[in-house]
Amino acid sequence: MRLAVWAADRVKWWLYHVQSFTQFVLHVARCTVTPPIYGKDSLYYMYTLGIGSLPVILLTGLFTGMVLSLQSGYTLAQFGGKYYLARIVSLSMVRELGPVLTALMLAGRVGAGIASELGAMAVTEQVSALRAMGVDPIRKLVVPRWLALLGMAPTLTILSVWVGLWGGAMVADIKYQVRPSYYWATASWVLYTDDVILGFLKPFLFGTLIAWIGCYQGLTTEGGSQGVGRSTTSTVVVTSIAILVTDYFFNEVFITIIMMTGHF
């Protein structure tokens, strides 16, 4: 009996948050296409959220490319296939590892920061004060952060992929004697327009997830400082899972469309 009551409560809680998050997303979309738009705030967050994340993103991309080159080269060398190394590194970084790992790093740094900042504003009644002054918190606090991530997530992903390819080239040259000229030539041979489009579209989707989930968790924070901690932790966990799940279904839909149109 207690188990049934607990399960019913969890279902009700889940349905409530699904409804609340849907209303939140619709409100964000409406505020994005209607004035006023706080453009200066978006530029500020592009700097703080995007440029501030640049060191960790570059390090992540560099060592991802290096490790991928090291591990792939070790396996390929056993079968005399080390000259295929650049193809594996370029495809993996452009299509999958670059966008996903960049998004996960942003979820940990930017998503958690957004949730903690807005959560602190919510529990100290600053969000209520904005409403009292006639300012829409969604328009003022959420939309600029979302627009900033829409601009910076693809940029950071491109930089991460580029640095990762250079890291792979260094390891391929030093460890497996694959000349850089051959590495870059074969890395470009294997990439098609579909691969670049797939890798470029993902950051827009992932940046949206990070902004929306972080802002929603922050604005719905309750319970003082402990509630801020819970919202921050929940943001990182939920956003990371959402990125991985969305990545699979996005790949599934994209590959299905390509195969149906005959361009794969």
Section 152-173 average pLDDT? 93
217: domain range?
A: 36-261
Range in 64-73, 237-246, 251-260 with the lowest mean pLDDT: 251-260
15 and 83 in a single domain? The answer is: no
pTM of the predicted protein model: 0.90
51 and 144 in a single domain? The answer is: yes
Q: How many domains does the structure of the chain reveal?
A: 2
82 and 4 in a single domain? The answer is: no
CA 162 – CA 204 distance, rounded (Å): 18
Q: Which DSSP category does 82 fall into?
A: G
Q: Which DSSP category does 33 fall into?
A: S
190 and 73 in a single domain? The answer is: yes
Contacts of residue 101, defined as CB under 8 A and 6 or more positions apart, other chains included, come to 60, 61, 64, 160
Q: For 125, left (φ over 0), alpha (ψ -120 to 50), or beta?
A: left
The position carrying tokens 């296409």 is 33
Q: What SS3 state is found at 34? A: coil
23 and 93 in a single domain? The answer is: no
151 and 24 in a single domain? The answer is: no
Sign of the C-alpha dihedral computed for residues 232, 238, 244 and 248 taken in this order: negative
How crowded is residue 149: how many other Cβ atoms within 10 Å of its Cβ?
Answer: 30
186-213 pLDDT, tens digit per residue, is: 888 878 888 888 889 999 999 999 999 9
Assess contact for 141 and 31: CB atoms under 8 A: no
146 and 104 in a single domain? The answer is: yes
How crowded is residue 69: how many other Cβ atoms within 10 Å of its Cβ?
Answer: 30
Query: Averaging pLDDT over each range in 47-51, 75-79, 154-158, which range is the top one?
Result: 154-158
26 sits in which H/E element: helix 2-32
127 and 214 in a single domain? The answer is: yes
- Among the listed residues 261, 116, 125, 114, the one whose alpha carbon sits nearest the alpha carbon of residue 194: 261
117 and 169 in a single domain? The answer is: yes
What confidence category does residue 254 fall into, taking pLDDT thresholds of 50, 70 and 90?
confident
8 and 80 in a single domain? The answer is: no
User: Which pLDDT does position 127 carry in this prediction?
Assistant: 87
25 and 106 in a single domain? The answer is: no
18 and 132 in a single domain? The answer is: no
Q: Which DSSP category does 110 fall into?
A: I
206-243 pLDDT, tens digit per residue, is: 999 999 999 999 998 888 888 888 899 999 999 999 99
